[in-house]
Each structure stands twice: as C-alpha cells, then as structure tokens.
Amino acid sequence: MAPDRDGEKRRAAERSLAFIENGMTIGLGTGTTAAHMIRLLGERIEAGLRVRAVPTSTATRRAAERARIPLVNLDECPALDLAIDGADEVDPTFDLIKGGGGALLHEKIVAVASRRLVVVVDESKMVDRLGRFPLPVEVSRFGWRVVAERIAALGTRPALRTGEGGIPAVTDEGNYILDCGFGTIGDTGALARALDAIPGVIEHGLFVAMADTVIVGQARGVAVLHRRP
C-alpha cells in the first residue's frame, strides 16, 4: 500500500502545536504541511489559546484569516518566538531545501527572525544528501537570463518555473523562480555562498544550519528530532 503522505504531514503538523505557548508570536510557513498546522492552530485559538502570527505568503495569510488566527507583520513584531514550516528535503544535519511552494524569501526572513525553527515533514522528505529535489532560486525578473547563466556555471541547468499556460510564475515579491537540479549537493554551505554572490539572486532555498527541530510524520505517530548543539 502506498504511504499516506498527507496523513504523515497532518501528524507532524499536529505535534508541532505542542511547541506553541500562550502569548507567543509565531511564523507560519507555506505549503500543504503548514496548511494542516494553520487549520489545527485555528482550532486551538478557538478553544482559548492566545497567539499572534506572521504569515510567509499570500496563500498562508488567506489560510490564517480563514482559521481566524490574529496576524501581525514583521515590521510591527520583528522578533518571533517560533516559526513552523515545511521543507522539500531535510538532511541528517538538518540542512534543508525549501521553496517548492515559492515562498522561500519570506520563509527565510521569518526563520531568521525566529528564536526557533520547527520543521514539519512527511517521511519522504528525509534524505541522506540534499539535491534530489531541484533547488529553487528566486531571481530578479530584470536580466533573469543573465542571472540564470551565472547559476548554470555552478553546474546546473536552471528551469524557469512556470504556471498555467506556461506563463512564468511570479513570487509574492514579483520575482521569478529558477528550479536548479544540482544532483547530490556535496557542500551545502559552499553552494549557498556561491549563489549568494551572484547579482540578481534574491534568495535560494538552501536553509543551512537554521532548523532546530524536525518533526517527521510517520505511518503511526511522529519522530521529534533535535539538532545536536
């Protein structure tokens, strides 16, 4: 029988709520796993939990409004207690690939603004080495082909992400996304630095040494993993 990935996501999301305490301000990630967390958090708030939250995308803001979660923005509240977010891949050192849902820029800013980043994933996201999932890189629309050439020189063939009708997908900040298959990534820090150095790269989906806790939803139950100090 095929694994029930959505059930695994739901279980991970549900377990992440145990990290939320009354009075906290939390970052809300983007994606299907985060969507479970947002819906369940709404139920806790309905039952009396008092929290405020910063959404990482338009989609998440809409979901949070539907769940009646009180929202603030990062300028009003630049220090968050906790961020809870999904990931596309997680390696044994908790380095991540994120951005499958296109929200990597806001997600990374929210992650660095948070005292703790809790990642919620299904079992398929746990890998020995990052790189099977093409790395999303958010780039300037101006001159994006030039930027893509510079990225290609790092050993990939960047693919412009498109939506319906083949029209380029645009992020919440109005940028393009290049999906970059690098194959197995040997040195995540070195690749992150190389991408950071290219003019026109706004952000990339490598989250290096940022996650504190990873909650893996399983067929029955969850595994809660903490990063070694």
- The catalytic site residues sit at 107
Q: Compute the CA torsion angle 132, 174, 211, 135 (nearest 10 deg).
A: 10
Stretch that binds ligand 5RP, among 66-74, 94-102, 147-155, 217-225 (CB under 6 A): 94-102
Residue closest to 178 by CA, chosen among 130, 143, 211, 208: 143
| Residue from the set 55, 86, 131, 158 that interacts with ligand 5RP by CB under 6 A | 86
The β-bridge relationship of strands 117-122 and 82-85 is parallel
Residues 17-56 that bind ligand 5RP (CB under 6 A): 29-33
Stretch that binds ligand 5RP, among 63-71, 73-81, 103-111, 169-177 (CB under 6 A): 103-111
Q: Verify binding: residue 91, ligand 5RP, rule CB under 6 A.
A: no
| Residue from the set 100, 158, 200, 217 that interacts with ligand 5RP by CB under 6 A | 100
List interacting residues with ligand 5RP (CB under 6 A): 29-33, 85-88, 98-104, 107
